[in-house]
Amino acid sequence: MFDQIAQRIPTQTIYFEDAPTVQIAIKRLDMVHPRISGNKFFKLKYNFAEALRLGKKCIISFGGAYSNHIAATAYAAHLHGFQSIGIIRGEELAHRALNSTLQTAQQYGMQFQFVSREQYRSKDTADFLHSLNLQYPDAYIIPEGGTNALAIQGCSEILTDFDRQHYDVICCAVGTGGTISGLIEASASHQRILGFSALKGDFLQNDVAQWTEKKNWKIMDDYCCGGYARTSTELLQFMHFFEMQYQIPLEQVYTAKMLMGLSDLLKKDYFPAETRILVIHTGGLQGRNIPENT
């Protein structure tokens, strides 16, 4: 069902003056679909197929007020004939005008339940999920960020045989860990997977380790700019410079942080000469609308 709407994914070569011998290409997942963008396309693919197989009528998922995942899920549900419900963190949002992300999701038919941050922290517990199943017996529940075994199966399809043969390092931004887990599982034995976390802390190491037994990966949080949705003047300046130079749109939550981190590593000669790097552009360009330091 998703393959039928997929568009061609181009790979674009870029050049960094600080590392003239390192070969860098960007895989433009942001172009796979205009609404179900980037890694969300791959995360949702098999989840929606499973919902269809089970005869479910509704999709439920979770996210913050500016969640790429919520926006993509709403459109995918609309496109494939499902109802959709978003469990949104922050009960105070129920009394405010919807931001652009939630407006987009609502436009595609998503209904919202705004819950307190305390309630939201329990979203993965058996009691919380049981209550949802009782309330919505015809619903298929997708975790926050879309990360589950089916999402990882989908994300493993991001790498092609060509990618496995022609690149030494795969770089990607990391949020909930689903995309990098799929990349790790699909990677060749000679490849290294390098993740740039949008969040501060080493908890993602444990999260990803639950999905793979491979050891050819590393996640660093040195370039998260203080945490999710946080920015810095340096980051915004880098983002502007990069977009002007390469005409590749970024957003400040994930992709700009990853590429700023990669740029810094190249300046520090982190990679040996002649290293072939594939950068995964995970889309999420609606994140450009998030207010600074939300």
**Given 67, 84, 187, 263, the catalytic residue:** 67
What is the DSSP annotation of 4-60?
GG-----EEEE--TT-TTSEEEEEEGGGS-SSS-THHHHHHHHHHHHHHHTT--EEE
C-alpha–C-alpha distance, residues 236 and 259, integer Å: 12
* Both tokens assigned to 113: 């339940």
> How many other CB atoms sit within 10 Å of the CB of residue 244?
8
- Judge whether 67 counts as a catalytic residue: yes
The 10 Å Cβ neighbour count of residue 253 is 24
The amino acid occupying position 117 is R
Two tokens, residue 245: 């130079």
Residues classed as catalytic? 67
